[in-house]
Amino acid sequence: MSEAEKYQFLVQVQSAFIPDQSAPDQNHYVFAYTVTLTNRGTVAATLLRRHWVITDANNHVQEVRGDGVVGQQPHLTPGQSFRYTSGAILETPVGCMHGSYSMMAADGVKFEAPIPAFSLSRPNMLN
């Protein structure tokens, strides 16, 4: 088995516009995103840190780094999933996010689990 197969995580994200917390006339657009992180590898691992790159339609980039997610550092055994919801605020009705999670495997190996790019969009803004 290759090293890549041992440390394999699937990251799936769903996003939603939150109209009741947004103020479009003030360029304030609030989005929620739900992440499901699944350990597809063969070694248990703990999520230590997150790194997000958030880009709005004006090409304004925010980078967010911090320990864990939603106050937790989940430990996932092979086959186990962890789901959480968080949010982002943009100045435009459309944007995107991507990033990575810094992981520590039970065998002491540190690795990155990439978070694929996903869109943040007010309904009916994109076809």
Domains of the chain in sequence order = 3-118 (2.60.40.1470)
38-89, pLDDT tens digit by residue?
999 999 999 999 999 999 999 999 999 999 999 999 999 999 999 999 999 9
77-117, pLDDT tens digit by residue?
999 999 999 999 999 999 999 999 999 999 999 999 999 99
pLDDT for the residue numbered 126: 57
Residues of the chain above pLDDT 90, percent: 92
Hunting for tokens 């495997």 — which residue is that? 105
Of 100, 92, 102, the residue nearest 117 (C-alpha)? 100
Q: Does 4 have pLDDT greater than 80?
A: no
Q: Tokens representing 43?
A: 């070694």
Q: Are 68 and 50 in contact, with CB atoms under 8 Å apart?
A: yes
Of 33, 111, 35, 47, the residue nearest 75 (C-alpha)? 47
Q: Are 99 and 115 in contact, with CB atoms under 8 Å apart?
A: yes
